[in-house]
Each structure stands twice: as C-alpha cells, then as structure tokens.
Amino acid sequence: MRAMHRAAAIFLAATTALGAHAAGTVRVVTKDAAGMPVADAVAYVHSLDASTPVHPPSEPVAIIQRDQEFDPYVTPIVVGTRVVFPNRDNVQHHVYSVSPAKKFEIPLYIGESTATIVFDRPGPVTLGCNIHDWMVAYVFVLDTPYFAKTGADGIADISNLPPGRYRLEVWHPRLAGKVGLELTVVEAGDTTQVVSVTLRPDRRIRRAPDTGGVGYK
C-alpha cells in the first residue's frame, strides 16, 4: 500500500471538484505524460468502508475478431463473467491466454464459437491468436462493480457510487507501475479526478508483410 501511495504521489495530479453531474459519480480523466487523453484505461474503485459484492451479467460479453484484430482492445468485466469470442473473419483463429488470472485456449474455429469462457479470478488477462501473432487484446477482471473504461477523450464515468470512502485505481495495458488514490464520495456529489499516468511504449508484434506468404510469420 505504501508503494501505491508513493506511486500515486508521483504519477497522480489529482484535482477534485464538485460538479453538476448525476449523483454518486466519479469522473476520471486520464492523461499521459504529455497531457494527451489516454483511451482504453480502466478506472475502478473499491469501497474502504464495506465489501461490495459483484454480480456478473446474465448474458455473456462478446469479444469479436474482425479484420484479424480483437474488438474491443480492452474489456473490463467483473469476476464470474462469461465471455464469448465470435469470429467474424473468413479465416480461422485460435484464441488463447496464458495469463495467471485465466489460462485457456479455443482451438481453431471460424464463425460463432460454442466455447464460453468464465473469468473467475481478478486480474489482467492477455488474449492472443496462435495463428496471427499480432492479434492482442486484454480482459481486465475486477472484484468490484464500480468501474468504467476511458474513451478516446480519456474520460471514464464511474456511476451509482454510494457515499463513502473509496480507493481509485487505474489500469492500462501499457501502464508503468501502479496508480491509485483515495477519495470520498459525498451524498448527491460528483467528483472529477484527473489522473496522470506514465505509459510504456506501445510495442506490438508487427503485422505488415515481410517477404510474402501467409500463415505463421
């Protein structure tokens, strides 16, 4: 925790303001070191006053494969959520993860896969395709119901928060270190947090052709 506080002191420039948004909402504005908005970051809070149970949705969440890429790139879900991986390409994919939070593979298939994967442990899960090495996506499994993903504007609204004290954290696939801070949500109050994060370079496996041919490259 101390390390997290130190990280927060280094990476977070937090400003808090009471606004006119819906009650019990924390608006997280995520920016990188250059002050540019950070998309695909997951902002989430844990209550410091009481444990909060999570209820996975009844319908599975879909992560689609299209144009030999995963869509969406980042998918935040709660523990126990079922995820399906429909393949909308005309080529086969072999979806897998070797992440500690969830190891699985769905061998070669095309179209709608019958496999449903239950993500039963919190933590980040990196997805890949064993045929197309450049394909990558992330599932971030949470043990709190209070979370949101930033859009292209770097903004994520975590809503329906009961009044109380919370610990806010932000996760991103390229995040260097952990970031987090404590905040208080007052009754009928909105809070805006500007979070500055340091991101590692975006190093993905190159997709552009090399010397021709298809298949494993």
Partner 1 sequence: MRSTGSFPVILTVLALASPRAMADGPYVSISEAVTWQDNVTNAPSGDGIRSAFELESGASVNWVRSIDFSTILTAGVTADVDVCPPYSGLNSLSAGPSVDVRRKLGLGPFAPVLYAEIDVRGAGFVDPERSNVEADLELGLTQRIRDDLQLVLGARTGSYDARDIVFSGNFASLKATVNWDVDETWRLKIIGGWRSGDTVSDYTAMKSPYGWVAVDPDTQYLPGAWHFVRTFGDPFVAYRESVRTWSCGAGISPALGRHTSLALQFMRFDSEGYDRYYEDVVSVSLEHHF
Of 111-130, which residues contact partner 1 (CB under 8 A)? 128, 130
- Residue 34 contacts partner 1 per CB under 8 A: no
In the complex, minimum distance from the CB of residue 136 to partner 1, in angstroms, rounded to a whole number: 9
Residues 73-102 close enough to bind partner 1 by CB under 8 A = 90-92, 94, 96, 98
User: Residue 68 and residue 93: Cα distance in Å, rounded?
Assistant: 8
What is the distance between the terminal CA atoms of the chain, rounded to a whole angstrom? 43
Whichever of 30 and 97 has its CB closer to partner 1, that residue is: 97
Check binding of 207 to partner 1 (CB under 8 A).
yes
Nearest to 75 by CA among 119, 20, 33: 119
Judged by beta carbon, residue 20 or residue 214, the one nearer partner 1 is 214
**54 makes contact with partner 1 (CB under 8 A):** no
Asked whether the CA dihedral 30, 72, 59, 56 is positive or negative, the reply is negative
Q: Which of 133/143 has CB closer to partner 1?
A: 133
Q: Toward partner 1, which CB reaches closer, 131 or 176?
A: 131
Length of the chain: 217
Strand blocks (E) in the chain: 25-31, 42-47, 61-62, 64-66, 69-71, 74-78, 81-84, 93-99, 102-109, 116-119, 123-129, 136-142, 147-149, 155-158, 164-171, 179-185, 190-196
Cβ distance to partner 1 smaller for residue 26 or 38: 38
User: For residue 64, how far is the Cα from the chain centroid?
Assistant: 16
Distances (CA, A) of 38 to 32, 63, 136, 174, 175: 6, 21, 18, 11, 11
Question: Does 200 help bind partner 1 (rule: CB under 8 A)?
Answer: no
Our CB check for partner 1 shows the closer of 55 and 206 to be: 206
Does 174 interact with partner 1 (rule: CB under 8 A)?
A: no
Stretch that binds partner 1, among 8-16, 47-55, 176-184, 207-215 (CB under 8 A): 207-215
Identify any residues that bridge with 46 across adjacent strands, giving them in sequence order: 167
Binding mask 132-161 for partner 1 (x = CB under 8 A): -x----------------------------
Identity at 109, one-letter amino acid code:
Y
Which residue ranges make up the site for partner 1 (CB under 8 A)?
A: 90-92, 94, 96, 98, 105, 107-108, 110, 128, 130-131, 133, 201-217
